[in-house]
Structure formats: C-alpha cells, structure tokens
A and B are shown apart, each in its own frame.
Chain A
Amino acid sequence: GIQVEQSPPDLILQEGANSTLRCNFSDSVNNLQWFHQNPWGQLINLFYIPSGTKQNGRLSATTVATERYSLLYISSSQTTDSGVYFCAVGLSTGANSKLTFGKGITLSVRP
C-alpha cells in the first residue's frame, strides 16, 4: 500500500515563529488532506489539496503531486496551533477515496 511519511515527528516553537511541516508519499495520489488534531482529540480539516497551493489565514499548503510531497506552512504561530498535524492521502476521489494517514507531527507552541 501507499506509504506516508511526515517530518519532523516533533516540533517546538516559540509563539510568533514560523514553521514548515512536510509530507512525503510513495505513490501518485488524487486526494490529499491536512488535519489538525487538537488537544481534545478533535480532527479539524485544514486543507483539501491534491495539488497546487491554498491559503487560509496564517496557514498555507502546497502539494507538488509530481514530486510526491506536500508542505504545510504555519506563520506567526500561536499557542492554539499546538496539537498533532496529520497528512492523509488517497489514490482516488471516487469509490476508493479511503485515506492513508501519516503518523503525525506533534507541534508545541510555547508562550
């Protein structure tokens, strides 16, 4: 099956710093999502980004499908950004759109 690797596994930031989270995957994908799992366990959709670049406030994401990676940028980090960030990929957007998740990146933003 498809392999998903996220790096770094852990990240500690001072509030206000910027960071880049990386997701590498082993096969061509037609579905890629970034999630934030907050300290209460809730999974929050950040981006649906099988290709291209998107921005939402302080967050942006870029997927280069031909090179099999995606990047999540967090600018001016806040303590509320703490939690685990997951990248998940799927081979299809149709009937087989089941996702394979990476192991996640644990982000701690300190005040």
Chain B
Amino acid sequence: NAGVTQTPKFRVLKTGQSMTLLCAQDMNHEYMYWYRQDPGMGLRLIHYSVGEGTTAKGEVPDGYNVSRLKKQNFLLGLESAAPSQTSVYFCASSSREVGEQFFGPGTRLTVL
C-alpha cells in the first residue's frame, strides 16, 4: 500500500516549456487535489477533483490544467511554464466519507 505517489520528484524547466506531473493513489479515494507550496507559506489549492472525469478550480488555477481520466490518477499540466510557477507541488487524496487528506511526497519544480 503505497498511499499517494508523485512523479517526478524533481524537475527543471525553461520558460515556455510544458510538462505534466502525475499523482497516483491506491486507497480508492474519490477526491484528489493539487496544491502548491511557496517559501514561507502554507499550501494553496490549484485544482481538485471529486471523481473520475470531473475537475474544478481552486484558489490559484491560472496557468495550470488538470485531468482525471482514471479514479486513481490525477494529472497536473503546465502548458507554458513561467518562473512564477517555481514551487513545490503536492498531491493529496481523501475519501467521500471522511475529509482527512493524505499527501504525496511532493515534486520540486524550478522554472528558469
């Protein structure tokens, strides 16, 4: 039982490049979330999903897209990376019955 996993762990991009971050959970959770963490701040919600095929915007959605084609996976895409997107990205999941969220190990992204 791996919980929540994220791929990759580290990535460096140049401005304008694109990439996709993958989140996978094996707890059969309905809800999944993407957050970003910037220095000296708590986590802020980017996008979330309440089920396969559905997504919704969070607090800071601009510049990101997401997809939830399978229940266990939640993808976060950056179409044209900007230096302001340099951050640590965390994925989380929770069940429909209990709101407790479980987090992945994070992806450290640097955009030059």
- Contacts from A to B (Cβ < 8 Å): 1, 4, 30-31, 33, 35, 41-43, 45, 48, 50, 86, 88, 90, 92-95, 97-104
When distances are taken between beta carbons in the complex, the residues of chain B under 8 Å from A99 are 33, 43, 45, 101
- The answer to whether residues A41 and B88 also contact, given A95-B50, A97-B31, A98-B48 and a CB cut-off of 8 A, is yes
10 more A-B residue pairs beyond the given contacts A33-B101, A98-B33, with a C-beta to C-beta distance below 8 A? A41-B106, A42-B106, A50-B99, A88-B42, A88-B43, A90-B99, A94-B96, A97-B31, A102-B42, A103-B41
When distances are taken between beta carbons in the complex, the residues of chain A under 8 Å from B40 are 103
The answer, yes or no, to whether B94 is at the interface (CB within 8 Å) is: yes
B100 CB to nearest A CB, Å: 4
B58 CB to nearest A CB, Å: 6
When distances are taken between beta carbons in the complex, the residues of chain A under 8 Å from B58 are 98
The answer, yes or no, to whether B74 is at the interface (CB within 8 Å) is: no
Q: Are A45 and B105 in contact (CB under 8 A)?
A: no
Q: What total of A-B pairs shows CB separation below 8 Å? A: 64
Q: Mark B44-66, 1 if CB is under 8 A from A, else 0.
A: 11001010000000110000000
Would you call the interface of chain A mostly helix, strand, loop, or mixed?
loop
Q: Are B99 and A45 in contact (CB under 8 A)?
A: no
Q: Are A30 and B99 in contact (CB under 8 A)?
A: yes
Q: Are A94 and B106 in contact (CB under 8 A)?
A: no
Q: Are A92 and B99 in contact (CB under 8 A)?
A: yes
When distances are taken between beta carbons in the complex, the residues of chain A under 8 Å from B45 are 98-100
